[in-house]
């Protein structure tokens, strides 16, 4: 690994850790600010390779729907997050699959512990990021979240994953 | 299929009384087992849609309550409902969610069954030769004795005899007519796959919520306010929309009075004719301008077909009880054949609003789960369902109707529930 590669991996890792922390701590606006203006947030259902233009996904938000989701949290009447889930996630296996001047494709794994009145739930995901460089850091142009159990019936998933 | 040894005669009058139900109807394990026997494994239950098995030999995995059911279209084109249990030693003959096959081969000892459920052959058949009990005709898969469709919706019954599907649907059949006529070719498809949302609640809290017009103003105010949605007004104090009890446990929220008052095509879908020119054109061609306009003003229904098929304007939900306090809702976007512009919007809106992360359904589900926890508390022992009792009335067809926020649907559901639960087989 060249010094440049190590530097890039370091910066991507820092970005992904920061995103994880914002999600765990329900920092909705700071999390929303991580997105590019054309960002797409995708969580498929029934497998990882479905076509979201034809089949149901758990989330398939364009940028304006991401904003809508955040505004709904801010009403204080998003009952599924009132009270908020207590969250803590561990992110690892960060790898950069592709990189160029215009964008980076990176992967990570996450295990998320969610505590609610209903129960404690563990979620497992493989995350795929398309990042655009912005100074020393990045913005998300796309985030795909592949839940390990996305082919099964899932309890409510109302926090930011 | 009988799983209880209860006496056949059941008296529910100590649990269900007109405008109130006892909390234990949502929490009693023995009652749940009786519901399986008398509602889910006896009466008509919605299973799947014909469009999910479009070709000969297609199959798709479905369910009736906790029971897995394979819906197949056999080589002759007929729809069959099979159980996924090998008659040899109980293994599962089908492990895929969907596919196309003329035969299912059990992985354990390789018995092979046709997609009508008949046993085709044993592996190493010598071991069965001259054994009179190894009669292939008696060793097929479990087959649901009755399968009937209406407007493409396939229903099944575990009972060999009983009322016809038409009798079961009664006046609510008209809501399915209304649904399909909103499609230019008079057909809908359910081909976009399902979101499966698990909830720690009794299935009847979901059943009742589907046509509860009292909650949206409160449970969904967060999304109505930020999305600039007009839906909230249909469920407000001043709404002219109606709740309706069709009998048979089937209930509706009829929003047509509001849409007719506005008199604007596609208002029901929160859009305009200008935005969907291809769809409007296809509707005009199919029905003529005047009728097409009326259909596009009225929109699709919001109807709960007892016990498990909910049509929510642009979505279909299927309620699947798993246990007394666990239920799965399967949801998908309705698709109209030959209306790609509308279909795309229906998928987008469905993905936004329903399923585990849905802007609407996550909050509904939160409510069902809280209801369940509440019902587990001891007092007050009764839930009060009397809203609007003093102002309900019969419509021109003789069905009970009330204000859109009144509990006409819940009272209708419990009346029917009591009848089917108390009925002798
Ligand atoms: S259990 Fe199916 S062949 Fe033996
Ligand atoms: Fe609701």
- The number of the ligand nearest the C-alpha atom of B215 reads 2
pLDDT value of position B231:
87
* pLDDT for residue B355 is more than 90: yes
- In whole angstroms, what is the distance from residue B308 CA to residue B206 CA? 9
In chain B, domain spans: 46-150, 172-422
Instruction: Name the average pLDDT for chain B.
Output: 96
* pLDDT for residue A87 is more than 50: yes
In order, the DSSP letters of B107-145 are TTT--EEETTS-EEE-SSGGGGTT-TT--GGGS---B-S
User: Which residues does A contribute to its contact with B (CB < 8 Å)?
Assistant: 43, 45-46, 50, 53-61, 65, 68-69, 71-72, 75-80, 117-119, 151-158
- Which of these CATH numbers, 3.40.50.10490, 3.90.380.10, 3.30.70.340, 1.10.3720.10, describes B172-422? 3.90.380.10
Q: Residues of A with CB below 8 A from B355's CB?
A: 45, 56, 58
**Both tokens assigned to A134:** 């912005």
Work out the pLDDT band at B228, boundaries 50, 70, 90.
Answer: confident
**Mean pLDDT, residues B306-312 taken together:** 98
**Mean pLDDT, residues B231-237 taken together:** 91
State the angle between helix axes of B277-287 and B289-298 in degrees (0 to 180), rounded to the nearest 10. 120
Q: Residues of B with CB below 8 A from A158's CB?
A: 356-357, 362, 366
State the angle between helix axes of B277-287 and B340-353 in degrees (0 to 180), rounded to the nearest 10. 120
- In whole angstroms, what is the distance from residue B410 CA to residue B326 CA? 20
pLDDT tens digits, residue range B154-204? 999 999 999 999 999 999 999 999 999 999 999 999 999 999 999 999 999
pLDDT value of position B1:
42
What domains sit in chain A, N to C, each tagged with a CATH number? 3-147 (3.10.450.50)
The angle subtended at Cα B199 by Cα B219 and Cα B43, nearest 5°, is 105
**Mean pLDDT, residues A122-137 taken together:** 96
Work out the pLDDT band at B2, boundaries 50, 70, 90.
Answer: very low
A109 DSSP β-pair partners? A92, A126
CB B309 within 8 A of CB B260: no
* pLDDT for residue B425 is more than 80: no
Which residue has a Cα nearest atom 1 of ligand 1? B89
CB B262 within 8 A of CB B323: no
Work out the pLDDT band at A29, boundaries 50, 70, 90.
Answer: very high
The answer to whether the CB of B106 is under 6 A from ligand 1 is yes
Strand segments (E) across B144-276: 146-150, 153-157, 188-189, 195-199, 242-247, 250-254
Surface of B (6-65) touching A: CB under 8 A: none
**Inter-CA distances, B25 with B72, B204, B383, Å:** 35, 9, 10
- In whole angstroms, what is the distance from residue A64 CA to residue B296 CA? 28
CATH class of the domain whose range is B46-150: mainly beta
**Residue whose CB lies within 8 A of the most ligand 1 atoms, among B108, B124, B125, for a mutation test:** B108
The answer to whether the CB of B339 is under 6 A from ligand 1 is no
Task: Please tell me the number of Cα atoms within 13 Å of B195 on its side-chain side.
Answer: 33
pLDDT value of position B8:
60
Closest CA to A91 of A121, A111, A106: A111
* pLDDT for residue B5 is more than 80: no
SS3 B360: coil
CB B59 within 8 A of CB B71: yes
- In whole angstroms, what is the distance from residue B119 CA to residue B142 CA? 11
Q: Residues of B with CB below 8 A from A58's CB?
A: 195, 351, 355-357
pLDDT tens digits, residue range B235-248? 999 999 999 999 99
Q: Residues of A with CB below 8 A from B192's CB?
A: 54-56
**Which residues 6+ apart lie within 8 Å of A25 measured at CB?**
A87
The answer to whether the CB of B127 is under 6 A from ligand 1 is no
pLDDT value of position B424:
76
CB spacing of B356 vs A72 below 8 angstroms: no
Give the minimum alpha-carbon distance from A57 to chain B in angstroms, rounded to a whole number.
Answer: 6
State the angle between helix axes of B203-210 and B361-375 in degrees (0 to 180), rounded to the nearest 10. 130
């Amino acid at each position: 690994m060249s010094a440049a590669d190590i530097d890039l991996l370091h910066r991507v890792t820092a970005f992904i850790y920061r995103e994880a922390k914002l999600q765990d701590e329900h920092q909705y606006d700071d999390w929303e600010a991580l997105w590019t203006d054309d960002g797409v947030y995708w969580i498929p259902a029934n497998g990882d390779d479905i076509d979201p233009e034809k089949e149901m996904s758990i989330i398939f938000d364009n940028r304006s729907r991401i904003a809508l989701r955040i505004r709904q949290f801010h009403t204080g009447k998003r009952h599924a997050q009132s009270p908020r889930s207590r969250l803590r996630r561990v992110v690892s296996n960060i790898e950069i699959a592709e990189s160029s001047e215009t964008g980076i494709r990176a992967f990570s794994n996450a295990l998320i512990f969610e505590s609610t009145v209903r129960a404690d739930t563990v979620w497992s995901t493989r995350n795929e990021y398309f990042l655009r460089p912005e100074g020393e850091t990045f913005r998300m142009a796309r985030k795909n979240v592949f839940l390990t159990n996305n082919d099964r019936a899932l309890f409510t998933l109302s926090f930011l994953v | 299929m009988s799983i209880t040894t209860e006496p056949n005669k059941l008296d529910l009058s100590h649990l269900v009384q007109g405008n109130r139900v006892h909390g234990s109807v949502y929490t009693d394990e023995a009652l749940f087992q009786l519901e399986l026997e008398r509602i889910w494994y006896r009466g008509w239950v919605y299973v799947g849609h014909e469009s999910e098995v479009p070709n000969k030999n297609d199959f798709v995995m479905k369910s009736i309550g906790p029971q897995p059911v394979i819906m197949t279209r056999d080589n002759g084109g007929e729809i069959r409902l099979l159980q996924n249990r090998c008659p040899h030693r109980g293994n599962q003959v089908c492990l895929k969610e969907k596919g196309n096959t003329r035969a299912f081969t059990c992985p354990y000892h390789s018995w092979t069954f046709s997609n009508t459920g008949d046993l085709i052959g044993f592996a190493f058949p010598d071991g069965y030769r001259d054994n009179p009990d190894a009669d292939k005709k008696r060793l097929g898969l479990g087959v649901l004795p009755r399968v009937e469709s209406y407007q493409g919706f396939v229903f099944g019954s575990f009972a060999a005899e009983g009322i016809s599907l038409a009798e079961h649907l009664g006046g609510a059949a008209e809501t399915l007519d209304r649904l399909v006529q909103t499609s230019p070719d008079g057909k809908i498809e359910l081909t976009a796959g399902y979101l499966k949302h698990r909830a720690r609640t009794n299935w009847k809290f979901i059943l009742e919520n589907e046509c509860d017009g009292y909650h949206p103003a409160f449970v969904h105010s967060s999304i109505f306010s930020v999305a600039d949605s007009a839906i909230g007004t249909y469920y407000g104090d001043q709404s002219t929309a109606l709740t309706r009890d069709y009998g048979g446990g089937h209930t509706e929220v009829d929003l047509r009075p509001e849409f007719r008052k506005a008199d604007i095509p596609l208002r029901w879908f929160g859009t305009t004719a200008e935005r969907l020119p291809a769809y409007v054109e296809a509707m005009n061609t199919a029905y003529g301008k005047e009728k097409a306009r009326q259909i596009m003003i009225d929109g699709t229904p919001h109807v709960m077909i007892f016990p498990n098929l909910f049509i929510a304007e642009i979505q279909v939900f299927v309620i699947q009880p798993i246990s007394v306090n666990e239920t799965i809702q399967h949801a998908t976007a309705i698709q109209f054949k030959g209306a790609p512009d509308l279909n795309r919007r229906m998928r987008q809106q469905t993905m936004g609003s329903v399923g585990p992360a849905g802007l609407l359904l996550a909050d509904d589900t939160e409510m069902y789960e809280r209801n369940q926890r509440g019902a587990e508390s001891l007092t007050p022992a009764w839930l009060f369902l009397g809203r609007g009792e003093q102002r309900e009335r019969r419509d021109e067809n003789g069905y009970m109707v009330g204000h859109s926020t009144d509990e006409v649907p819940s009272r209708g559901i419990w009346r029917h529930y009591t009848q089917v639960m108390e009925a002798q087989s």
